[in-house]
Structure 1
Amino acid sequence: MSGGLVALLDDVAALARIAAASVDDVAAGAAKAGAKAAGVVIDDAAVTPQYVSGADPSRELPMIKRIFWGSLRNKLLIILPALLLISAFIPVVIPFILMAGGTYLCYEGAEKVWHKFRGHHEAEEAAPAVDRGPEAEAKVTKGAITTDFILSCEIMVISMNEVANESLLVRALILVVVAVLITVLVYGAVALIVKMDDIGLHLAAKDSAGSQRVGELLVKGMPAVLAAITLIGTIAMLWVGGHIMLQGAYDLGWHMPYDVVHVLEAPFAGIPVAGGFLVWLVNTLSSAVLGLIWGLLVMAIVQPLLKALPFGNKKGEHEEGDVAGPPPAKHSSDSASSHKP
């Protein structure tokens, strides 16, 4: 009896050790996968605030909440099962899915750069969606969820690619952790960003001179913060997309593009202290430049085709909330003025 009990305790201890190791594997894998997908996460956080720009302040958080739950459902109920099935039965397809997503990121980033330098501004609606009724607000929210779906696909595929050598169960657990944490991180940051001017107005109304200065700084600084986030998101798209294309081409046997990048990195590799950072910087800049070039080439092919389609809308002619893109960022100043007495 005692021998059986000891054996049972040994089995329990062994299972506990396995479970602990699995938890460590999941945590390490989630950190690795999340870090690799960071560029797309930044872009996701940069895009979403623009969907609620101009909305009544009382509707901002409810709209973000709906987008949050839509994003989480997309990741856990659609993207995750599809990726697990693909990785289990046809893993050879994953690099091509990854490169397709990389091409999308390059295209979107290049399009933003092109419009910036051409001075293009998308047409604004006469009134915010919330002022045009619940149907318009629902359409904006649906458009945001659809755009998020594309970015979520890329985040999950990048994460899957980083943990492809793990078992199916560990991959599933890692992707669940990545999906939940990244969604909470992105939409928590978005909620903070869109309410920052409200916080500033609240501080500005206090009696303390220090609070008033901080509040005024927040209100006045939010347009610059939103512009900086948009710029960072564009650079992140080009960098991540370009790197995906470089690595994908290398893995498929076309080594020349990445070999050129390695040649550019070589002079910096031996520099003490700063060498590692400089190598990373060269790699990142090379990826971003390649992403811009590839995105412009895709633009040159895709946009004439879209214009030729009888049902295709040109960029800028879509209604607010369509998948083609969000309305221009104007949240902070407009929202701030709407709060003023």
Structure 2
Amino acid sequence: MRIGIIGAGPGGLTCARILQKHGIPVTVYERDPHPRARDQGGTLDLHTGDGQLALREAGLLDEFFALARPEGQEMRKLDTAGRILEHHIPAEGELFKPEIDRGLLRRLLLDSLEPGTVQWGRTLARASGSGELHFADGTTVETDLVIGADGAWSRVRPAVSAAVPQYSGITFLEAWFEDVDNAHPDLADLVGQGGAMAADGERCLFAQRNGGDHIRVYLVQRLPADWIGSSDTAEIRARLLDAFSAWSPRLVRMITDNDGPYVDRPLFALPVPHTWKHTPTVTLLGDAAHLMPPLGVGVNLAMLDAAELALALAGSATVGEAVAAYEKTMLPRSAEMARLLENGAEGLLDAPADEGYLPFLPESEEKTATPR
């Protein structure tokens, strides 16, 4: 069978790896010109029941644990004065959802594939319902199955669905901090080895430790999608200082002391539920199929989708039967999760509750970006 996967993210690469383990040839088409073309985003927590399950099917679970950071499961909930209200410290040997940098996960998956599996610099213009891939360079490839693993602004999705992502009303502004133990020791101490968050009902700060002594901070607010208006760092910082003026100076350093410019990431989501009429030659996985707020489930669902689709293809008599079996499970599951998370972005702004910590993680630049 001729299978073409669009997108070399965790979902697409996981699907390709499991297909190859079962002796099924596959080609992955990726618009980036090479694996290091751009920053891959922050840290990801892979859960035992989905992301880790997919890596087990891929034969990569031990390699994942060798790279992952179990200490990243630490979570601190703070008030706006910077006081710790709740503190989750992972137990010895706790591996429910260890963290791994997105770039490391991608490299692990890429290195597991047969040479030449990924064709770089291949920007898809459109996919047809008959399985044809039309690329921006004018070339065309015929397949028996197109798998859209190309994220929020999927070029494959229009072949089966007219749905487009809608702005959620919530925006993230990302700030980076490098060499934090030396250059930003107070921030490093405040965040710990995992994440720390504070909210006041109108705005939220979430700081997440990444590998390589790096912290990413996400400033969450309810604003119009085009609120930022300017790329001037000093001007943006002044507006943020006004918005967070009642917060403690220690927390405000997450706004003022960042290394480099801010990155604007308005949150988009697909309609709930998002379904489509079965087409035996085209299907979707991950954000292309069920774009949701970044609340710690996106990459896990994408990798579970990928594993189930690959196993269905390995175990079915025809491609069409495999796609039907996969969608019969995936679509209800993603619809249920999307309903649970439909207004989850608003929940990020809520002032801390008396109990329970919020393990959300801004997973992907794709779900918080405009079309490229």
**TM-score of Structure 1 vs Structure 2, range by shorter chain:** under 0.3
Structure with greater proportional helix content = 1
TM-score (norm 2): 0.23
Q: Which has the higher contact order (CA 8 A, sep 6+)?
A: 1
Structure with greater proportional strand content = 2
Pair member with larger Rg? 1
